[in-house]
Amino acid sequence: MSHRVLTGITTTGTLHLGNYVGAIRPAIAASRTPGVESFYFMADFHALIKCDEPDRIARSSRAIAATWLAAGLDPERVTFYRQSDIPEIPELTWLLTCVTAKGQMNRAHAYKAAVDAATAAGEEPDAHVTMGLFSYPVLMAADILMFNAHRVPVGKDQVQHIEMARDIAQRFNHLFGQGRELFTLPEAVVDAEMELLPGLDGRKMSKSYDNVIPLFEGGPKALQEAVARIVTDSKLPGEPKDPEGQALVTIYDAFATPEQRAAFRAALRGGLSWGEAKQQLVALIEGQIGPMRARYDALMADPAQLEAILQRGAEKARAIAVPFLKELRAAVGLRPYTASAATAVAKAEKAALPVFKQYREADGQFYFKLLSAGGELLLQSRGFEQGRDAGQWVARLKREGWVADAPVQREASDEVISAALAAFQAE
């Protein structure tokens, strides 16, 4: 069976170079691997948790969708969709919410961080906590379990959420699976690369540190300006420089071939100025990002095309989600009344089987008889000294059907007796 990989990006901003190198680029490469089925989506329901600016959410969703496609994602090859186009996801969230322990959600990092911040500010612990923030891991579990993803590439900060999704899946399987694994247990994949790209100041590139290099926004000029702000040491042009541990060099590495990496290091050791090095970095990045930016701008200028791609993606996703949710609803007991009637009839039919009865008569001997489902006598045995012998004949008749030398009196037609015995073999 093929392997399912799934990941989402929350739609509250635009993407930077670190998102591209750490998430988008490896995800697109993985989507081209044979035997891998990829599911990538805009997590816009998640965006509502931390953002109450409708225009920002709408703009971000569109920009992130355009970014994926501009970077080379093939929507024919993967399932690429907006979370909010799949109403089965919030419905599944509720089914999962009902089996999720509140105590476990109390321990979620995002919630605990909010409580710690409020407490530190002398406020009520839950002062800024919505139910959306509190239940965030359950929504994320629904994203993942809806498509039975095996692997979920995420940053380190999300690993706990994947573990929670596993726990929730396990509990649901246990309660409702009747021995079946309704949900696949997902695994987090934390690529070393996910954490790799440093920002302008050498710390991890992140919006919250205000140290990002924009991916497409602002064009080549913004790229150039950001690179100019990368912190280096203060060695002068001509002075030999140690390339190791320099953010500039690590960012260069993320776009360079092994040969380019070696040449860049050699040049720095040979005295290349930081200014010159920055220009080389801009040229390297722009060579790869530039053509994508052109596609990005074209997609942003054509929302109808983008919308059509996402609608098609939602169709593909729902072709999986709709029938699966139907199964899950039935598993928890949300069934059409006609379906439960059918179950009751099936049970009644199952109950209506012929029966062997074993008993002892006043003569001290052991007997058995076969009765039809309706209670008519079909076979009557002779008497046995030992109850065990009677039992062995019953077992043999159940197992083998009619046996020519069975010590019984036939009380019905051959067909009726054979059909009754056949019912035991079908059991």
Which CB, 195 or 297, lies closer to ligand TRP? 195
Which CB, 37 or 389, lies closer to ligand TRP? 37
Half-sphere exposure of 220 (CA within 13 A, CB side): 14
CA distance 220 to 154: 29
Which CB, 78 or 256, lies closer to ligand TRP? 78
Give least dist CB 151 to ligand TRP, A: 10
219 annotated to bind ligand = no
Neighbours of 384 (CB within 10 A): 19
Query: Where do runs of H (alpha helix) occur along 254-351?
Result: 258-269, 274-300, 303-332, 337-351
Q: How far is C-alpha 378 from the geometric centre of its chain's CA atoms?
A: 56
CA distance 267 to 242: 10
281 annotated to bind ligand = no
Q: Is 321 in the site for ligand TRP (CB under 6 A)?
A: no
Give least dist CB 140 to ligand TRP, A: 4
Stretch that binds ligand TRP, among 1-9, 167-175, 176-184, 333-341 (CB under 6 A): 1-9
Give least dist CB 152 to ligand TRP, A: 5
19 annotated to bind ligand = yes
Give least dist CB 61 to ligand TRP, A: 13
Which CB, 189 or 222, lies closer to ligand TRP? 189
Stretch that binds ligand TRP, among 4-12, 86-94, 98-106, 317-325 (CB under 6 A): 4-12
Are 185 and 166 spatial neighbours (Cβ–Cβ below 8 Å)?
Answer: yes
Stretch that binds ligand TRP, among 5-13, 170-178, 307-315, 339-347 (CB under 6 A): 5-13
Cα torsion 76, 79, 85, 91: sign: positive
164 annotated to bind ligand = no
Q: In what order do the strands lie in the sheet with 377-381?
A: 355-360, 366-371, 377-381, 408-410
418 annotated to bind ligand = no
Are 278 and 200 spatial neighbours (Cβ–Cβ below 8 Å)?
Answer: no
In this structure, are strands 3-10 and 36-43 parallel, antiparallel, or unpaired? parallel
Give least dist CB 202 to ligand TRP, A: 23
347 annotated to bind ligand = no
Q: Biggest alpha carbon distance in the chain?
A: 117
Stretch that binds ligand TRP, among 6-14, 114-122, 191-199, 415-423 (CB under 6 A): 6-14
Are 223 and 282 spatial neighbours (Cβ–Cβ below 8 Å)?
Answer: yes
CA distance 249 to 233: 12
Which CB, 93 or 372, lies closer to ligand TRP? 93
In this structure, are strands 366-371 and 355-360 parallel, antiparallel, or unpaired? antiparallel
Among 227, 237, 241, 245, smallest CA distance to 289 is for 227
Task: Name every residue whose Cβ is closer than 8 Å to that of residue 102 and which is 6 or more positions away in sequence.
Answer: none
Give least dist CB 85 to ligand TRP, A: 14
Interactions with ligand TRP, residue window 32-91 (CB under 6 A): 43, 46
Give least dist CB 12 to ligand TRP, A: 9
Question: Residue 210: is it exposed, middle or buried by C-beta count within 10 angstroms (0-12/13-18/19+)?
Answer: exposed
Cα torsion 79, 16, 205, 126: sign: negative
Which CB, 82 or 318, lies closer to ligand TRP? 82
Give least dist CB 19 to ligand TRP, A: 10
Which CB, 65 or 140, lies closer to ligand TRP? 140
Give least dist CB 301 to ligand TRP, A: 27
Question: For tokens 């573990």, what's the residue?
Answer: 163
Tokens of 391: 């039992």
Which CB, 249 or 314, lies closer to ligand TRP? 314
Interactions with ligand TRP, residue window 122-181 (CB under 6 A): 140, 143-144, 152, 154, 158
DSSP β-bridge partners for residue 258: none
Tokens of 194: 């996910």
Interactions with ligand TRP, residue window 7-36 (CB under 6 A): 7-8, 10
Q: Whole-angstrom distance between the N-terminal and C-terminal Cα of the chain?
A: 31
155 annotated to bind ligand = yes
Question: For tokens 């051959």, what's the residue?
Answer: 414
Which CB, 190 or 330, lies closer to ligand TRP? 190
338 annotated to bind ligand = no
197 annotated to bind ligand = yes
Summarize the annotated binding site for ATP as residue ranges. Answer: 10-12, 18-19, 155-157, 197, 204-208
Summarize the annotated binding site as residue ranges. Answer: 10-12, 18-19, 143, 155-157, 197, 204-208
Summarize the annotated binding site for L-tryptophan as residue ranges. Answer: 143
Where does this chain bind ligand TRP (CB under 6 A)?
6-8, 10, 43, 46, 140, 143-144, 152, 154, 158
